[in-house]
Amino acid sequence: MTLSRIPPDALDPTSVPVFEVRHLAITHPSAEPLLRELADEYGTRYGPLAGEEMRRFPAHEFDPPDGAFLLVFEDGEAVAGGAFRRYDADTAELKRIWTHSAHRRRGLARRVLDELERTARERGYTKVTLTTGPRQPEAKALYLATGYTALPDVVETGSDGARFHLPAFEKTLTGAA
């Protein structure tokens, strides 16, 4: 487990919570509540086939050295998280970026993105890619606001034959690892 501190953005640090980032296995018990809420949200937005996405990749694909899974904690509670897996030799694919519903609109998803990008750079990746659901406008806005380039939609077919057009994005990682 790797720990790092994310300093809060505030003039008075005594009145602002301190967030702690922990790099864990995606199967760690601390991840379960956040991933359960993510699966519930996918189910609400996309129906029963949403569970396929949550089971699509084996857990080991998010393990180092090719992958990563991290959680952001506030006062011992996991409030946000995300992961990446190897897409190709130079590219990491971001997955499972999520903020608990009670902690949204606090900049936590942006912090998760920053940490995932930093970790991917440290692991030798030069680019990140991702897809998001078509019913997640807040995610699309976040990616565009943080320097991601929109790509043509990725078309995937569910087990029932339904076709999904997933907005796709990529970003070149710059700066020191």
Domains, the chain, ordered by start: 2-125 (3.40.630.30)
Share of the chain above pLDDT 70, in %: 85
Between strands 127-131 and 91-99, the pairing is parallel
Q: Report the sign of the C-alpha dihedral through residues 28, 29, 30, 36, in that order.
A: positive
The tens digit of pLDDT for each residue in 105-130 reads: 888 999 999 999 999 999 999 999 99
- What average pLDDT does range 34-42 have in this prediction? 85
Instruction: Please tell me the least confidently modeled range out of 19-33, 103-117, 121-135, 149-163.
Output: 149-163
- The strand pairing partners of 108, in sequence order, are none
Sign of the alpha-carbon torsion through 63, 69, 70, 76: negative
DSSP string across 34-81:
HHHHHHHHHHHHH-TTHHHHHHSS-GGGGSTTT-EEEEEEETTEEEEE
Measured CA to CA, the distance from residue 134 to residue 115 in angstroms comes to 25
3-state secondary structure (DSSP) of residue 95: strand
pLDDT in tens, 66-104: 999 999 999 888 999 999 999 999 999 999 898 887 788
Q: Which among 75, 68, 77, 70 has a CA at the least distance from the CA of 109?
A: 70
